[in-house]
Amino acid sequence: MKTLNAKLRQGGSLLAFGLASLALAACTDSDLNHRLITEATWKQNEASAQPEVRRVDMQHVVAFAPQGLDMNDVERESLDMFVQQNHLQPGSHVSVAAPTNTPAQSARSRNRLAAVRTELQRMGISSTVVQAESTDHKNTGDEVVVFAQAIAVLPPDCPGYNAPITLDYEWRPDTRLGCANAVNLGLMVANPSDLAQGRPLAAADGEEQAAGVARYRGDKTYPTSDSLDTVPFRVTTSTSGQ
């Protein structure tokens, strides 16, 4: 009898141990599933990459003859190239200064500044005279300096293109959507200032607009059917005689 009871107690212990193991395993799986659900990572995509538009300080030196008061043709062309290369549109504003070394140069600076400002005004660019320190030994003191701000386009950092590829904590590569398009836009844009602000509209062609109204009133507008036979200016060529 005692042997039977001992066997029953031993079997009960084994059964209890087995049930405890199953419960522990079930609890572990439940906790694991709960952790996976509640701690699953969600990665927010970064904002679409855009080229950065930045203003850069530029300057151009207009040289005058030692006794000269007017700009020569070479300096006019050089100033015009400076304006075009830096995309200074009509309506832009620049600063001009005439640093000098001697009193004689200071006396001539007023006429030289006026000559440069007149040339800039001819291009539609306004200017303001500012004070400048005396030039160093590298300059003659017979110059007028034009200070302007040009607009430059800086491409964004694109992993795998102009920046190294990095991995996040889940070993996924960090990417930037639209990065290649942003770089290409910065490289292709003809006038970087167009990315900062729009251009003013030119004067409308009143005659062309009036002609459109006249065609509408006279029922002479172009057909809008989807049929290819009604496309404006379409010419049908017959090949039956060939």
- Cα 85 from Cα 79, distance rounded (Å): 10
Q: Sign of the CA dihedral 168, 171, 176, 180?
A: positive
pLDDT score at 10: 53
Question: What CATH number is attached to the domain comprising 93?
Answer: 3.30.1330.60
State residue 125's pLDDT score. 92
CA–CA separation, 199 vs 189, rounded Å? 14
Please give the pLDDT value at position 118: 94
Query: Is 237 within the bounds of a domain?
Result: no
In this structure, the number of other CB atoms found within 10 A of the CB of residue 142 comes to 22
Residue 240 lies in a domain: no
Residue 153 is predicted with a pLDDT of 84
- Tell whether 59 is covered by a domain: yes
Quickly tell me which residue has 């304006």 as its tokens: 83
| Alpha-carbon span 146 to 82, nearest angstrom | 10
> What's the pLDDT at 223?
64
Does any domain span residue 111? yes
Identify whether 106 is part of a domain: yes
Quick one: pLDDT at residue 13? 54
pLDDT reported for residue 242? 45
* Whether the Cβ atoms of residue 119 and residue 71 lie closer than 8 Å to each other: yes
Query: What's the pLDDT at 32?
Result: 47
pLDDT at position 8, please? 45
Q: Which helix (H) or strand (E) holds 116?
A: helix 103-122
Q: Indicate the number of domains in the chain.
A: 1
- Within 10 Å of residue 164's Cβ, how many Cβ atoms? 8
Residue range(s) defining the domain that contains residue 110? 55-152
The encoded tokens of residue 96 equal 């001009």
Indicate whether 84 belongs to any domain. yes
Q: What percent of the chain clears pLDDT 90, i.e. is strictly above it?
A: 22
The confidence score (pLDDT) of residue 234 equals 47
Angle of the 73-85 helix axis to the 103-122 helix axis, nearest 10: 60
DSSP labels, 156-175 = PP-BTTTB---B-TTS-B--
Q: What span, in angstroms and rounded, lies between the C-alpha atoms of 51 and 90?
A: 25
Residues of the chain with pLDDT under 50: 2, 4, 7-8, 14, 17, 19, 24, 28-29, 32-37, 231, 233-237, 241-242
The residue type found at 106 is S
Residue 206 within any structural domain of the chain: no
